[in-house]
Copies of this chain bind each other. A is one copy, B any other.
Amino acid sequence: MPSDRPQPAFVLVRPQMGENIGAAARAMWNFGLDRMRVVAPRDGWPSGSAVAMASGAGRLLDEAQLLGDLPAALGDCHYVYATTARGRELTKPIFSPEEAMRDAARRIGEGQKVAVMFGPERAGLENDDVVRASAIITVPVNPQFPSLNLAQCVLLTAYEWRRAADAVPEGHVHMHNTQWADQVEIEALAAHYDAQMQEAGFFYPDHKAANMRQTLRNFWSRMPLTQADTRLLHGILRQMVRWKDRGGGGA
């Protein structure tokens, strides 16, 4: 059984080599983290090569959740970080690993569920993944040699988690008792706006449509939305549709 100590889930997105999944499990468990989620691993699941590499951390693989896509992997989470060296063209908070794990510790202390996404070995997370994150984590590597591998990135993030979790709480809690929207609710809101604005002809001209949709999707994940906020935003859109359907251009 995973430990019951509150902690972030580490989500490996489309990992390629089993060895790297095993090394990531070791790196997590080195710092006491044991909740791994694996999204669409290239070479299938379970992975013998992952188990062989994980050695003393094999339990994490036995207990890992296997998921088919990213929305399924993030559904229950209120706040999601994406580890990426790029993505700066997306408007999104950028944290160092230390800042991010302090922020995560505070959120988890307030009862939020938190996840950290790690991309595939070769190419890292794609923009379509990153738009689903609330914030970005960028490790301050040497710009001449920014070649951290998957397990190293997991190791540094886990190390910072441990440091943040062990630190004395700073004692300020804000927006206590807030019911934050989870990723299922964010996804539903984004889908509602995407579909309705598509119908309304918002994504125009065609050659800009893909970029506009990505910008809008990114916007929803970046906002700190409560469940009440998502109801409000659904309500606004539904009301505009009703208003249109009543007809009578003008008012």
A176 within 8 A of B: yes
A211-251: CB near B (< 8 Å → 1, else 0) gives 00001100100111010110010011101111111111111
Q: Is the CB of A174 within 8 A of B249?
A: no
A188 within 8 A of B: no
Interface size class of A (residues with CB under 8 A): 35 or more
A28-44: CB near B (< 8 Å → 1, else 0) gives 01111000000000000
Q: Is the CB of A236 within 8 A of B197?
A: yes
Q: Is the CB of B250 within 8 A of A249?
A: no
Q: Is the CB of B247 within 8 A of A249?
A: yes
Tally of this chain's copies: 2
A91 and B173 alpha carbons, distance in the complex (Å): 12
Checking B135, B141, B202, B249 against A245 with a beta-carbon cut-off of 8 angstroms, the contacting residue is B249
Q: Is the CB of B176 within 8 A of A94?
A: yes
Q: A174 and B56 in contact (CB under 8 A), knowing A32-B142, A145-B29, A147-B26?
A: no
Residues in B with CB closer than 8 Å to A236 are: 193, 197, 202
A251 and B241 alpha carbons, distance in the complex (Å): 9
A150-167: CB near B (< 8 Å → 1, else 0) gives 001001100100110010
Residues in B with CB closer than 8 Å to A178 are: 91
Most chain B Cβ neighbours within 10 Å, of A235, A236, A245: A236
**A residues with CB within 8 A of B:** 26-27, 29-32, 56-57, 88, 91-96, 98-99, 135, 139-142, 144-148, 152, 155-156, 159, 162-163, 166, 168, 170-171, 173-176, 178, 193, 197, 199-202, 215-216, 219, 222-224, 226, 228-229, 232, 235-237, 239-251
> Lowest 5 A-B CB distances belong to which pairs?
A244-B244, A200-B243, A240-B240, A32-B142, A245-B249
